[in-house]
Amino acid sequence: MAAKQLIKDHFIELRIFQHRSIVAIVFTIVLFGILAARLFYLQITNHDHFTTLSQNNRVSVQAIPPTRGLIYDRNGIILAENLPSYTLQIIPEQTRDIDNLIEELATLIEIRDVDIKKFKKEVKRKRRFEGVPLRFRLTDEEVAIISVNLHRLPGVEIQAQLTRYYPYGRETSHVVGYVGRINEKELKTLPVTNYSGTNHTGKLGIEKSYEALLHGQVGYQKVETNVRGRVLRVLERSNPTPGDDLYLNLDINLQKVAADAFEGKRGALVAIDPQNGHILAMLSMPDYDANLFVNGIDSKTYKALNTSWERPLYNRTLLGSYPPGSTTKPFFALAGLELNVIAPDHEIFCPGYYQLKGKSHKYRDWKKWGHGKTDITKSIVESCDVFYYDLAFQLGIDRMHEFMSSFGFGQRSGIDILGERSGLMPSREWKKRVHNQVWFPGETVIAGIGQGYVLVTPLQLALATATLANGGKLYQPQLVHSIKRKSDPIPRLVTPQLVREIKVNRPSNWKQVYHAMTEVIHGRRGTARRLNKTGMRYKIAGKTGTAQVFTVAQDASYKEEDLEERLKDHALFMAFAPVDNPKIAIAVVVENGGHGGSVAAPIAGKVIESYLSQFSNEELKAPQTNTEQKQKKPSASKKPSAYKQPVRNKAKPGNQQTHNTAQFLNEPEYQSHKNLTQAHRTKENSHG
């Protein structure tokens, strides 16, 4: 029974088991079916989708920033270059103990606590295999020390990168400007793609205004990266297009002469070639080292610069608005002659003051006891104020405004760097608009000696002088002479832009003013006669000016030495030379310098002398015939320079260069620059 039971059990058991085995087989097939279906869905049905995702995972695009264009002066001397600078960085992944390593480095080179703090902050943000900078701008010596010890400093790396460097950082700080790290505001306006690899952008001067040309076009590389972003290999590369090089009209040697001549004084100097509006020198003093700003200036230094009462960061050539004082006298004299208000032999008697009819107010001359009988020449040579009070009264503010505006007073010049101020040449409408008042005759009188509301920038004064010198041709002042693309063999010239030509009624009127201005330097009683030296190869025409900062009460006189330095008069001087063949027009302002003749004129004299020393006697003479002009050309070979085409004696409007420039200005890459200059011009037109 027991055995039977066992056999029966055995039989049932086997049947149950076989039954369940079939279930197990079905179960297996179902599960494998599910897996196969799922994999089919992923690998066949959705293959494209996942292939895209996989590509996006592994390939990333990196930007290669272009090399910034270089800036040269007119003789090919480099003003802005890209120098390799060395950064010490640590790759955390490759180090054993970062703190130890830093301690060891500190025994070799200087590492400040600030550096370590910055470094520690960066380490947290970056990935383990990325280098984190510890020290910037290593000296050659420091690089050498680290290099020798590199074998025992695992994870330490010296990286070379290009940093903008200005060899004449001080002298060119206001003109060339500088580049700096892109800030948040700029990030919004700069083209995103083109700046994807760039850390720096022009902040000021040429560097800012010509940013579009200097920057270049970004390049790309497609790289394969792993999950942590480490680059494994480069799949594809398109090289960046370097930025264009710029050749300036600026003469750095002249700029240095000017800076030396200022000798700790504050003020500005602008020198222009009257034949084409080329800026030869442009200086604002005190200056500062532009290199400080390139990799971020420390806040202490910046604060010191920014809060100094001398305002080194303030570009006086474009922003400084000064009362022009007596430097306006040649222009008003010319206005009187050309508008037939006075005759060439016009003469007044100067008692030392001027009174409007029926008014008791005395407009005082700087010479208390008066100049006596004064004609046009004497009025300029001795700077008689009463002559011009009277002349202004006769001209009236409307004609004064119109005439002076044609010389560019009160208008933006359209120079090719941003940020200039317009100065002010007052008019009735202006006063109505701004002060909501009628114009008073007394205001006309003081405007006649360049005081009152009248304000000029040093650039305007230089430009007006150039316009006076060349017989009425107002050029747009131009800092950039030519633009060289890396792919082009020769630079493309920027054509001088003639803004307007002032109608000359009688050339003898102009000659008379030139003559008077020449007497200012070369006459016995001239206010700038100290510039006259024996054996000079050329004659200078000029005019001194003294602008009041401090208003003197009626019937009171003051002693200069009693005044605080900051309340002293501004000294001004404007000049051009040679008189018969003007090659340089110059304006100098020395803040609180006192008298124009004693302080500003000598600075101008040094610059003129330095600039004209490069010309032969032949070249300094008045042009007679065409053949003579042609002979000027060989002078180019005198100065060896990287830049073969000499700037001077070039670029008269209307010759064949116009074609070249017009062509490049239409090309899209140059549009931004064109827009920039056009914006200036539009503004100017609305003024004129």
Partner 1 sequence: MASRSSQQGLFFRIHIDLTLLLALLALIAAGQVILYSAGGENIALMQRQWIRLGVAFAVMLAIAQISPDTMRRWSPVLFIFGTIMLIAVLLVGTKALGARRWLDLGLFRFQPSEMMKLAVPMMIAWFLSAGNIPPSNRRIFAALAILIVPVLLIAKQPDLGTSLLVSSAGLFVIFMSGVSWRLILGFIIAGISFTVPMWLFLMRDYQRQRVLTMLNPESDPLGSGYHIIQSKIAIGSGGSFGKGWLNGTQSHLEFLPERHTDFIFSVFAEEFGFSGVLILLTLYMFIIFRGIYITTQAHGTYARLLGASVVLTFLIYIFVNIGMVSGILPVVGVPLPLVSYGGTSIVTLMAGFGILMAIHTHRKLLAH
Which positions are catalytic?
Answer: 326
Beta 267-272 vs 156-165: how paired, if at all?
Answer: unpaired
> CA–CA separation, 514 vs 330, rounded Å?
8
Nearest distance in Å: CB 108, partner 1: 36
Nearest distance in Å: CB 34, partner 1: 7
Residue 672 binds to partner 1 (criterion: CB under 8 A): no
Residue 57 binds to partner 1 (criterion: CB under 8 A): yes
Query: Positive or negative, the Cα torsion across 671, 673, 677, 679?
Result: positive
Q: Which of 642, 488, 478 lies closest to 77 in space, CA to CA?
A: 642
Is 25 or 150 the residue whose CB approaches partner 1 more closely? 25
Is 36 or 490 the residue whose CB approaches partner 1 more closely? 36
> CA–CA separation, 359 vs 445, rounded Å?
13
Which x/- pattern, by CB under 8 A, does the window 389-418 give for partner 1?
A: ------------------------------
> How many chain residues bind partner 1 (CB under 8 A)?
40
How many angstroms separate the Cα of 222 from the Cα of each of 15, 59, 195? Answer: 67, 7, 17
Q: How far apart are the first and last CA of the chain?
A: 132
Q: How is 340-366 classified by DSSP, letter by letter? A: TSS-TT-EEEE-SEE--TT----EE-S
Find the binding residues for partner 1 in span 207-226 (CB under 8 A).
Answer: 224-226
Nearest distance in Å: CB 59, partner 1: 9
Nearest distance in Å: CB 35, partner 1: 5
Nearest distance in Å: CB 27, partner 1: 8
In which residue are the tokens 């280098």 written? 131
State which H helix or E strand residue 332 sits in: helix 329-338
Is 20 or 435 the residue whose CB approaches partner 1 more closely? 20
Q: Which of 222, 217, 259 lies closest to 237 in space, CA to CA?
A: 222
Count CA within 13 A, CB hemisphere, residue 577. 31
Nearest distance in Å: CB 85, partner 1: 34
Residue 11 binds to partner 1 (criterion: CB under 8 A): no
Find the binding residues for partner 1 in span 470-499 (CB under 8 A).
Answer: none
CB atoms near residue 383 (< 10 Å) = 27
Is 227 or 556 the residue whose CB approaches partner 1 more closely? 227
Name the segment binding partner 1 (CB under 8 A); options: 12-20, 75-83, 282-290, 491-499. Answer: 12-20
Residue 190 in contact with residue 163, Cβ under 8 Å?
Answer: no
Is 43 or 161 the residue whose CB approaches partner 1 more closely? 43
> CA–CA separation, 364 vs 283, rounded Å?
34
Residue 521 in contact with residue 532, Cβ under 8 Å?
Answer: yes
Which x/- pattern, by CB under 8 A, does the window 35-54 give for partner 1?
A: xx-xxx-xxx-xx-xxx-xx
Is 234 or 642 the residue whose CB approaches partner 1 more closely? 234
Residue 20 binds to partner 1 (criterion: CB under 8 A): yes
Q: Which residues are CB-contacts of 631 (< 8 A; sequence separation ≥ 6)?
A: 618
Residue 235 binds to partner 1 (criterion: CB under 8 A): no
Residue 144 binds to partner 1 (criterion: CB under 8 A): no
For residue 411, give the DSSP letter. Answer: S
- Give the residue, chosen from 7, 21, 235, 298, that forms a contact with partner 1 under the rule CB under 8 A: 21
Give residues in contact with partner 1 (CB under 8 A).
9, 12-13, 16-21, 24-25, 27-29, 31-32, 34-36, 38-40, 42-44, 46-47, 49-51, 53-54, 57-58, 224-228, 232
